[in-house]
């Protein structure tokens, strides 16, 4: 369990980007795939995928392949060596202005999403 300044800086560096904050402010129950982000935040596929990769590499999300889909879930309970700080940060993010709009956008999208295909791909 590494609690170094360098590791902490890498984790926090992931948060220095507005798009990634918006991702982390989405509801954390369940999992999101790339197409969910594309639709919810109006992101091109490569941008969505890249941000998820960054979050994965810095320990904020974990990826699970399910068939053609790659699902990402938040692992903030272990981020920052399990101190709870990750959850605190997410809690704060959800109080920000843009968060409710994004969350509603995600809910709307999930209601209409075709279960067999990702409706937002490319």
List the one residue from 5, 111, 114, 116 that touches a copy of itself (CB under 8 A): 5
Q: At what angle do helices 34-41 and 98-112 cross, to 10 degrees?
A: 120
Report the sign of the C-alpha dihedral through residues 21, 27, 31, 32, in that order: negative
List the one residue from 88, 108, 117, 121 that touches a copy of itself (CB under 8 A): 88
Residues 109 and 119: their CA atoms lie apart, in Å, by 9
- Residue 108: in which H helix or E strand, if any? helix 98-112
Nearer of residues 25 and 32 to a copy of itself, judged by Cβ: 25
In the shown chain, the binding pattern of residues 8 to 47 toward DNA, with x for contact by CB under 7 A and - for none, equals -----x--xx-xx------------xxx-------xxxxx
Please, are residues 30 and 108 in contact by the beta-carbon 8 Å criterion? no
Nearer of residues 69 and 92 to a copy of itself, judged by Cβ: 92
- Residue 9: in which H helix or E strand, if any? helix 5-13
Sites of contact with a copy of itself (CB under 8 A): 3-6, 8-10, 12-18, 21-22, 25, 80, 83, 85, 88-89, 92-93, 95-99
Sites of contact with DNA (CB under 7 A): 13, 16-17, 19-20, 33-35, 43-47, 49-54, 63, 65, 67-71, 117-118, 121-122
């Amino acid at each position: 369990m590494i609690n170094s300044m360098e590791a902490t800086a890498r984790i926090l560096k992931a948060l220095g980007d507005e798009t990634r904050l918006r991702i982390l402010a989405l509801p954390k129950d369940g999992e999101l795939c790339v197409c969910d982000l594309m639709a919810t935040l109006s992101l091109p596929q490569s941008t969505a995928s890249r941000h998820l990769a960054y979050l994965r590499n810095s320990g904020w999300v974990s990826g699970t392949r399910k068939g053609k889909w790659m699902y990402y879930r938040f692992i903030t309970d272990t981020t920052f060596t399990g101190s709870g700080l990750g959850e605190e940060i997410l809690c704060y993010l959800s109080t920000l202005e843009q968060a409710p709009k994004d969350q509603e956008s995600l809910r709307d999208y999930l209601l209409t999403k075709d279960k067999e295909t990702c409706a937002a791909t490319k």
